[in-house]
Amino acid sequence: MSELKTDKISPRTASGTITLGDSGDTFTVPSGATLAVASGATISNAGTASGFGGTNTPYFKAYRTGSQSVSSGVVTKILFQTEELDPSGIYDNATNYRMTVPAGAAGLWQINAHFSAGSGSINSSNCAGYLYVNGAVRHYSLKYKTTGNMYWHNIALVTIFDLAEGDYVEVFVNVNGTNPEVQGSGNDNRASFSGFKLVQ
């Protein structure tokens, strides 16, 4: 196999085009190598490209399978005890009920949570949902009782965090009312917690 070494390949004419190979040929970029394209240049692909881009991993998703009782007016962690997705084992569904960023996965993460909370009576009033990072509030959503009977509050939390290795994320709720609770079901339609690392 012949080898060509050069620092730059340019077309013979200004704004010209360089064609690599013929139909059926394969070009390989070795592991650890970098393919750099100059600013303003365009790569046009008429064939099949593989190994490019990235995946939104690691990722996880958990939900509640039953209702969780909470104390009125007390900020309480929601215990999402059933894992639906967690191939990298980043969510603890048995002890701390949190997602922890694993080694090598620092960066931007999209975090999502939704739940329905209330007391099932007209005594239900204000409700808040919180995303905590390392034990402190970083994002929240509030729902208020305005007029009429308010039984359940639907809270949605969606944001992007810049997380470091070892950072952990949890979901908390604070709801007023008589015997309030976070609703759960046999799937993820009432209360779920999920997230994934963004491709960067």
Q: What is the pLDDT of residues 51-75, one digit of tens each?
A: 666 788 999 999 999 999 999 999 9
d(CA 59, CA 89): 9
Q: What is the pLDDT of residues 76-125, one digit of tens each?
A: 999 999 999 999 999 999 999 999 999 999 999 999 999 998 876 655 56
| Best CA proximity match to 113, nearest among 176, 62, 76 | 62
Q: Is 5 exposed, middle or buried (0-12, 13-18, 19+ CB in 10 A)?
A: exposed
At 51 the pLDDT is 61
At 187 the pLDDT is 74
Residues 177 and 144: beta-carbon distance below 8 Å: no
| Peptide bond between residue 87 and the one before it cis (omega within 30 degrees of 0) | no
Supply the pTM of this predicted model.
Answer: 0.75
Q: Which CATH architecture has domain 59-197?
A: Sandwich (2.60)
At 118 the pLDDT is 84
pLDDT at 194 over 90: yes
At 156 the pLDDT is 96
* Joined tokens for residue 166: 């070892």
The mean of the pLDDT values for the chain is 85
Per-residue CA distances from 153 to 66, 87, 175 (Å): 17, 32, 9
